[in-house]
Chains A and B, each alone.
Chain A
Amino acid sequence: AQKITQTQPGMFVQEKEAVTLDCTYDTSDQSYGLFWYKQPSSGEMIFLIYQGSYDEQNATEGRYSLNFQKARKSANLVISASQLGDSAMYFCAMRLSVSGNTPLVFGKGTRLSVIA
């Protein structure tokens, strides 16, 4: 069964600095997708970025990038130039079969606090 581990319950970062949120995963499948979601205090789940297991390049979306190290089974989220609005819970998630319609499995999340 697949598993997602986020070892940082909480993180602090100074405004305008970069921060890395850690995520490791465990699966024996070769085809999978990795996702990051943001959950602000209002509660909604916001999709941030995706990385496929066969993608050779690290994914980037604006200030978000995903540091994908397949051999280490890690998919860390890097947020550059942090903003106060980045304060939220961040969840790493995985689904097996990149194009399959299978459930996402989530980690327990990391609470990021951006300090002015």
Chain B
Amino acid sequence: DSGVTQTPKHLITATGQRVTLRCSPRSGDLSVYWYQQSLDQGLQFLIQYYNGEERAKGNILERFSAQQFPDLHSELNLSSLELGDSALYFCASSDHPHRVGYGYTFGSGTRLTVV
């Protein structure tokens, strides 16, 4: 167990629907990062939160949004889902100041299938 908890592990939904993915960071970590991994692709950075505030934004679609709550857990909301949104969504956390030499601690991911 990495200490980063993602729920649900699997999600199957229909096109046009909306889903929420949840992430609880490792205890003490203030930063949360969301990544999307499509089939046979690398990890695409979506968005970063630090202590409740948006810190950096990557290639996140307007249909997607995220937030980090006071208890530091984060949610990624995906709406108007399309078939191409099917992917493995990872959450990762890191502490601050960042321990030199450490990357992130990743959750086990949420596999989203849009049918």
Q: Is the CB of A106 within 8 A of B109?
A: no
Residues 48 to 72 of chain B near chain A (Cβ within 8 Å):
48, 50, 55-56, 58
Instruction: Kindly report which residue of chain A lies nearest to residue B103, judged by CB atoms.
Output: A35
Residues of B within 8 A of A62 (CB): none
Residues of A within 8 A of B103 (CB): 33, 35, 37, 47, 50, 93, 95, 104
Residues of B within 8 A of A52 (CB): 100-101
Q: Is the CB of A106 within 8 A of B48?
A: no
Interface: A18 (CB within 8 A): no
Q: How many residues on A have C-beta within 8 angstroms of the other chain's C-beta atoms?
A: 24
- Of the candidates B42, B88, B96, the one having the most CB atoms from chain A within 10 angstroms of its own CB is B42
Q: Is the CB of A101 within 8 A of B97?
A: yes
Query: In whole angstroms, what is the CA distance A108 to B55 when docked?
Result: 24
Residues of A within 8 A of B108 (CB): 43-44
Interface: A100 (CB within 8 A): yes
Query: In whole angstroms, what is the CA distance A52 to B102 when docked?
Result: 10
Besides A43-B109, A52-B100, A101-B94, 13 other CB < 8 A contacts?
Answer: A33-B101, A44-B2, A45-B90, A45-B92, A45-B104, A47-B103, A47-B105, A98-B100, A99-B98, A99-B100, A100-B98, A103-B45, A104-B104
Q: Pick 13 A–B contacts, CB within 8 A, sort by A.
A: A44-B108, A44-B109, A47-B103, A95-B103, A100-B98, A101-B50, A101-B55, A103-B33, A103-B56, A103-B58, A104-B43, A104-B103, A106-B45
